[in-house]
């Protein structure tokens, strides 16, 4: 019987969690999460409301399920935009060197010398509070990490003989990038994206909790935490439910990222051997 490794177990749990979250979307509509029934406010969990209701009588289970669309989809969009900006800049900096590399790396050094979350709060404060302005604020900061990682990998590959030979024989830059650099960069970027997905969820939820992101009646998880803090002593479920989902989601993405990194490193070592 084949033994289940720690990495595979994490992947199974992670996949099951995503299937549950995505599958639940087909059974709950946005109207279920936004319909107000003041006569049913702050009801305890029951057969009709499995997690109870909030202060407006809205079903709490429906709100956290619909909230996953906001939190997870917006996090994914933010991550994709970040990679689209960061990776090409890293390729340019690592390949071109010179003044281009110097300018890009000095900007990154300045940006990364300040804690990410502090900068995100500062940028988000310049805009009108909304979920899309959070995407802009987070992207402004997060691209630097991907640029630095990509540039590091490309700079390392540039010193290898096969790249030197390709340049000697005037192989087009586009061919070198797509056939040699991109395959080398992709595994590291995928691992970083998996871990960063959890971080971005935390940033979006935290900034929404501070009132800089999603606004009521949005069921985004951070906004739900903000709305429920007034009931922390009288009806703590309004805080416990979204906080648990945020924590669980971040934990699973971090574990999946670590497992993926270990798996890729093991495969690289096996190939090297």
How many domains, the chain? Answer: 1
Distances from the Cα of 5 to the Cαs of 8, 11, 267, 273, in angstroms? 5, 10, 15, 21
CA 129 to chain centre: 20
Interval 17-43: pLDDT, tens: 999 998 988 888 888 788 898 888 999
Domain assignment present for residue 55? The answer is: no
pLDDT given at position 270: 56
pLDDT given at position 76: 92
Burial class of residue 269, CB neighbours in 10 A (0-12, 13-18, 19+):
exposed
pLDDT band at 3 (very low <50, low <70, confident <90, very high): low
Interval 185-240: pLDDT, tens: 998 899 899 889 999 999 999 999 988 888 888 888 999 998 888 888 889 999 99
pLDDT given at position 203: 93
On average, the pLDDT of the chain sits at: 87
Domain assignment present for residue 26? The answer is: no
The answer to whether 197 and 76 have CB atoms below 8 angstroms apart is: yes
Q: Which domain holds residue 246?
A: 68-267
CATH number at residue 81: 1.10.3720.10
Domain assignment present for residue 146? The answer is: yes
Domain assignment present for residue 236? The answer is: yes
Domain assignment present for residue 48? The answer is: no
Domain assignment present for residue 9? The answer is: no
Interval 52-66: pLDDT, tens: 899 899 999 999 999
């Amino acid at each position: 019987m084949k033994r289940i490794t720690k990495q595979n177990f994490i992947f199974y749990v992670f996949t099951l969690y995503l299937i549950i979250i995505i599958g639940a979307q087909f059974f709950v509509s946005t109207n279920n999460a936004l319909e107000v029934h003041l006569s049913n406010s702050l009801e305890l969990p029951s057969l009709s409301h499995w997690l109870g209701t909030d202060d407006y009588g809205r079903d709490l289970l429906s709100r956290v399920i619909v909230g996953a669309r906001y939190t997870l989809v917006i996090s994914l969009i933010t991550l994709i935009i970040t990679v689209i900006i960061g990776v090409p800049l890293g390729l340019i900096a690592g390949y071109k060197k010179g003044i281009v590399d110097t300018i890009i790396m000095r900007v990154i050094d300045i940006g990364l010398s300040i804690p990410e979350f502090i900068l995100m709060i500062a940028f988000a404060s310049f805009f009108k509070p909304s979920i899309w302005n959070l995407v802009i604020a987070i992207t402004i900061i997060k691209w630097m990490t991907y640029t630095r990682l990509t540039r590091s990998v490309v700079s390392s590959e540039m010193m290898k003989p096969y790249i030197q030979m390709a340049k000697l024989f005037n192989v087009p830059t586009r061919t070198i990038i797509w056939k040699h650099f991109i395959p080398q960069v992709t595994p590291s970027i995928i691992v970083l994206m998996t871990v960063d997905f959890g971080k971005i969820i935390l940033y979006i939820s935290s900034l929404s909790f501070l009132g800089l992101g999603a606004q009521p009646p949005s069921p985004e998880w951070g906004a739900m935490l903000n709305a429920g803090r007034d009931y922390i002593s009288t009806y703590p479920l309004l805080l416990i439910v979204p906080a648990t989902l945020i924590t669980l989601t971040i934990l699973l993405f971090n574990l999946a990222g670590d497992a993926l990194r270990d798996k890729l490193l093991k495969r690289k070592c096996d190939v090297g051997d």
